[in-house]
Structure 1
Amino acid sequence: MFGKLEKRSLNQTLNSSRRIFKSMAILCARIVFLGLIVLVGAYSLAYSRHPPAVAMGFQLEAIHYQGLVHLDRQALDALIYQSVSKNLMSVDLDRIRDLVESESWVREATVRRKLPNQLVIHVRERQAIAVAAIDNELYVVDEGGVILDRPGPSHQSIDRPIVRGLMNAARENAQEENNLRMQVYLRVVEALDSHNRSISEVDVETPEQVAVIPTADPIPIHLGDEDFLRRYETFISQKDLYDRLKEEYGTIESVDVTYDNKIIFHTPQKKGETVMVQTSNPL
């Protein structure tokens, strides 16, 4: 009987030890879990304030560009490095794209990370297609009238008449209006392709009343808004008459070929005369 009591007491002691051990294990697990939460929180807070040493491997060290022709690579580097985070993983790619696209030469840009420490930026540049006279200054512009640069040796390939009549970019609705005017300009130079070398300027200030200015005689020839080639060749066909009238009146201020079957030569206002000549072919 004594043996049975001793055995029962031993079992009770073992069960009690198991319960204590289990309770201690649960307590330790809770302590470890809470410790992990505190550690993660502390790490996150420290990381947000001071990137840990492990993140140093993601420090932005190089920017590679694709598609640059006119843009200054070093100027772009300086703009980006001074404006965004130095850690590649926290860099705002949209912010970088906006910065690059703020440059006048940039039509579109895409940005991507290249681990562990590089950015790759692909740029699609605007194309310089004309020289524009804006507020008595000359600028190189694209097909939408966006000012790109001042004329220089790198723009000698531009072989079109100067476009006159674009708005200063600071004026309200200038971008939309200049885009419209440039589309008219491009229509004119395309239609007059065989005569462009003899034309100095195309004035699109009033798109419905386009005027071209010949190189040899710097007076506006008003072509209206259509039939540019036929109307300009009507003026050319009356060049002998123009020369006689110029000799007679001293100067001709402008020529209007927008009417059907006639061409109008405007003499100086002090002369008080306008010469209208019938043409043989309708315009």
Structure 2
Amino acid sequence: MWQDVRALNATANGLIALVVLACVASGVWWVSQRPMFTLRSVRVESIYDIELKRVSALTLRAGVIGKFKGNFFTTNLEQVRTAFESVPWVRRATVRREWPDQLIVSIEEHEPLGTWGEDGRLLSVKGDVFTANLAEADDDHPLPAFDGPEGSEKEVLARFGQLRAWFAPVALTPESLSLSSRYAWTVKLDNGMLVALGREQDHDSTHDTMRERVQRLVKVYPQLAARVPEIETIDMRYQNGLALAARGIKISKDGKLLPQPVAKVLASASSATRVPQAALPAKPNTKASTQH
């Protein structure tokens, strides 16, 4: 080998290159550690150039302090992003460096739509479930209540939007919506009425069973509301009819008044759009149910 001039030259050139690279790396490291590159500030702004409503500088400082370190060159931007996204009300964050000593953090806030479940969590308008101070969420208006199996958040959100449009012709607005573990839907309206809509049986986009049930209710609701005050619950899980419970009526299967506080009456599909005369209220404090 020592007699091979070409091999010796190649080895020498390789060693020189390594030394040069080591010197360059050491120089870069030395420069990067200079005080001028110490992070002086972290600027927070909104991703959409709108004022942040619920994320304050104090909240951010308390939430991210101690979760990342380094200077302009060595700070791990992924760690910074994760730290900011762990702060309540922060949905998404992006981080970039700004020469020579600043980080720019752009934040997207959660926009609450309602509560989720019974553990105090919130559902955003984009279908994200998150944890934050509930008192900060309902400062403008009461929040609708949502519930459903894990992973059904976006499905519940989409159905809520549909129900709002479907009930609009009778000036009713959903206040809560729940999807049971058996995937049965129940909606509470702003007049206090609870409507059981049951399970979605047909997933064909051309045949929406839920929509048909709501449309059937909307069609007869003005007549029901005019004749049966204070309706408490309506069960739409019947193919051609409905069942309801309301205060102020006492009726039997043959239309006669009953002494019991709660009674039921059945009607054929052909009479689903009218209420028997016997169902008219006798006393406002009594309670009964009718089924169509």
TM-score (norm 1): 0.62
Show CA shifts across 1:41-68 (max 9, x none): 7x949x5xxx679611110110111113
Q: Distance in 2 between matches of 1:185 and 1:207?
A: 18
Counterparts in 2 of 1:226 and 1:195: CA distance versus 1, 3 Å: same
Correspondent of 1:132 among 93, 103, 115? 115
| Superposition deviation, residue 121 in structure 1 | 1.0
**Which residue is equivalent to 1:118?**
102
Correspondent of 2:264 among 261, 264, 274? 274
Secondary structure of the residue aligned to 1:109 is: strand
Counterparts in 2 of 1:56 and 1:137: CA distance versus 1, 3 Å: closer
Q: Distance in 1 between matches of 2:81 and 2:193?
A: 46
**1:143 maps to 2:126:** yes
Q: Structure 1 unaligned runs (5+)?
A: 1-29, 168-173, 247-251
| Superposition deviation, residue 222 in structure 1 | 1.9
Counterparts in 2 of 1:262 and 1:230: CA distance versus 1, 3 Å: closer
Report if aligned partners of 1:267, 1:273 keep a CA contact under 8 Å in 2: no
**Which residue is equivalent to 2:3?**
none
Show CA shifts across 1:27-46 (max 9, x none): xxx9xx99x959x57x949x
Counterparts in 2 of 1:138 and 1:273: CA distance versus 1, 3 Å: farther
Matches within 5 A, 1:37-56: 37=19, 44=26, 55-56=34-35
**Which residue is equivalent to 1:73?**
57
Q: Distance in 2 between matches of 1:189 and 1:37?
A: 71
| Superposition deviation, residue 264 in structure 1 | 1.4
**1:87 maps to 2:71:** yes
| Superposition deviation, residue 76 in structure 1 | 2.1
**Which residue is equivalent to 1:97?**
81
**1:191 maps to 2:177:** no
Report if aligned partners of 1:164, 1:205 keep a CA contact under 8 Å in 2: no
Show CA shifts across 1:103-132 (max 9, x none): 35233221110111100011122222x222
The AA in structure 2 aligned to 1:107 is R
**Which residue is equivalent to 2:154?**
179
| Superposition deviation, residue 137 in structure 1 | 4.5
**Which residue is equivalent to 1:255?**
234
Secondary structure of the residue aligned to 1:192 is: helix
Secondary structure of the residue aligned to 1:60 is: coil
**1:57 maps to 2:43:** no
| Superposition deviation, residue 188 in structure 1 | 1.4
| Superposition deviation, residue 92 in structure 1 | 0.8
Q: Distance in 2 between matches of 1:145 and 1:205?
A: 19
**Which residue is equivalent to 1:220?**
194
Higher helix share: 1
Counterparts in 2 of 1:138 and 1:127: CA distance versus 1, 3 Å: closer
Superposition CA RMSD, Å: 4.1
Counterparts in 2 of 1:83 and 1:164: CA distance versus 1, 3 Å: closer
| Count of aligned pairs between the two proteins | 228
Correspondent of 1:235 among 221, 230, 234? 221
Secondary structure of the residue aligned to 2:152 is: helix
The AA in structure 1 aligned to 2:195 is I
Q: Distance in 1 between matches of 2:168 and 2:182?
A: 19
Secondary structure of the residue aligned to 1:180 is: helix
Q: Distance in 2 between matches of 1:265 and 1:230?
A: 14
Counterparts in 2 of 1:258 and 1:242: CA distance versus 1, 3 Å: farther
TM-score (norm 2): 0.60
Q: Distance in 2 between matches of 1:81 and 1:183?
A: 37
| Superposition deviation, residue 214 in structure 1 | 3.7
